[in-house]
Structure 1
């Protein structure tokens, strides 16, 4: 086979394997603490009203924040990054989702995994 035919095939194979590798996801969902009215009397009318109000607000969805985390050397440095969700969500987080987006994977592949960014989405309770 000629070199002019092999080079495009190798390039397509490398890009397919490289970008296909970058589908890393980690998601954590947090339960919401009970309303104040339900802590003392869980069977009261006030508790039922507070739960109904909360379920109506939950359908609307909460605010979503995107945070970029920077890792180096195949994601080995820094070892652990602590994210304080109270800076983003006053009522606590509903979910935290860390993943490699297309552009994160692109930069990771271009730098040969020396620079490995990750995106973190924080969804808040309303």
Structure 2
């Protein structure tokens, strides 16, 4: 009976570590889109209104989403800063950047006792 209780306790502790570790780190940044070229000089012109309508129609379709995997070590302390150039992924600029810990990131982090701490970054682009 004691072996079953210990096994159940170990499984519960193991499961709770995964559940708590997976939902921790999230960071999201949303970027406003730059105004169209026609709106920079004369914001109330007909060309500006047409450019804004065209852009609104394209935004409904949504932009491309890229997933980038980043590697951190020692509880995420090394390297201190990883610079991600979003211009290489989004020539029109990023719509949002979301950094988070996925299930598998948390799995590897827990398995290595936080020596290896991967993160996933999703970059959504403007069309």
TM bucket (normalised to shorter chain) is: over 0.9
Question: Runs of 4 or more off by more than 6 Å in structure 1?
Answer: none
CA-atom RMSD, angstroms? 1.2
- Give matches, 1:1-126, under 5 Å: 2-23=2-23, 24-126=25-127
Structure 2: how far apart are the matches of 1:2 and 1:119?
41
Deviations 1:51-97 (A, max 9, x none): 00000000000000000000000000000000000100001100000
Q: CA deviation at 1:25?
A: 0.6
Q: CA deviation at 1:4?
A: 3.1
Contact 1:19 1:106 in 2 (8 A): no
Return 5+ residue gaps in structure 2 as ranges.
Answer: none
Q: CA deviation at 1:20?
A: 1.7
Matched positions, count: 126
**TM-score of the aligned structures, taking structure 2 as reference length:** 0.94
**TM-score of the aligned structures, taking structure 1 as reference length:** 0.95
Return 5+ residue gaps in structure 1 as ranges.
Answer: none
